[in-house]
Amino acid sequence: MTAFNAPWWARNRHLQTLLPTWYKRNQQIPLEWEELTLSDGDFVDLAWHPTVQPPGEQQPLAIVFHGLEGSVHSPYAKCILPALAAQGWAVVLVHFRGCSGRSNRQWRSYHSGDSAFAGEVVDTLGERFSGSPLLLLGYSLGGNLLANYLADTPHSRVKGAALVSPPLDLAACSESIQRGFSRVYQHHLLSRMKRNLQRKIRQQQSAPLAPEQVTQWRNFWEFDQHYTAPAHGFAGADDYYQRCSGLGKLKHIAIPTLLLHSADDPFMDKRVIPQAHQLSTAVEYRLSDTGGHVGFVHGSLWRPRFWLEEAIPQWFSQQLQPANN
């Protein structure tokens, strides 16, 4: 796998972060939808990308987890799903609770360390694809979630995992995104989170919060302090950040895992960058100087290319080779 190098015209970290949204804004990809009922009575929506090649025996299954407030319509999903399907693999994006455009049934939703949720989905789909090798891919929050899952639940049928721009130190990221231009990203994401929560409140008569309370929250920490933490069994935002940050989990990962960060990621700072002693031998860490947050755009201005849709299928293919099994 070649290293990522940003071209001269796209070395700014915010440009790298925003370019995929611009370039992919009108792209449509074929999808087949499925509602998956969870063991607690809630549901999530799965978005399947039709396989480009006819399925073969023991066809690999690639399971993709999106980032904070993301969905199958996120630019990175529009990039990677067709790229994975082009390998002849079955490909599905798992929406977190409430992220597919429909509010989930319960008061709880999703969070960065919900390895039990990831485990239930992986086990359910793994049973359906009995005998098939599994590949896991997580972007941003989804990457941190997979770091928790991989450390907590070794899974022999998972042949490889890739974590892209994961916020491995949640407290540090909550602080970092409140500085400078990065506050624009926080405002955009927080506004969506608050709207979705207010919609949920209006649909649930017994909700312990009022829409007016949600309006007053000014940053991620306040959202996590007043909703995420109590809704998911944490003492508060700080407890949630401490228990669910993936940085301390990396040394426990036994499954081959590709971890990708950019040093100029505007969503985080150097505190998310793991030291050598924090990585297990199963984790291959790649840190590029540029790339922004889930950006990694190269090529020319008029014919841009998206490095992730080239590098991740290539790395997964290597893990599927007999010598790596």
Active site residues: 140, 265, 293
Q: Which residues contact 223 (CB under 8 A, 6 or more apart)?
A: 190, 193, 194, 217
**Inter-CA distances, 153 with 3, 38, 146, 150, 316, Å:** 30, 18, 10, 5, 20
Nearest of 108, 264, 267, 281 to residue 176 by alpha carbon: 267
Instruction: Tell me how many degrees the CA angle 32-35-40 measures, rounded to the nearest 5.
Output: 155
Instruction: Tell me how many degrees the CA angle 261-263-266 measures, rounded to the nearest 5.
Output: 95
For strand 304-306 and strand 90-94, is the pairing parallel, antiparallel, or unpaired? unpaired
181 burial via Cβ count (<10 Å: 0-12, 13-18, 19+): exposed
CB 164 within 8 A of CB 258: no
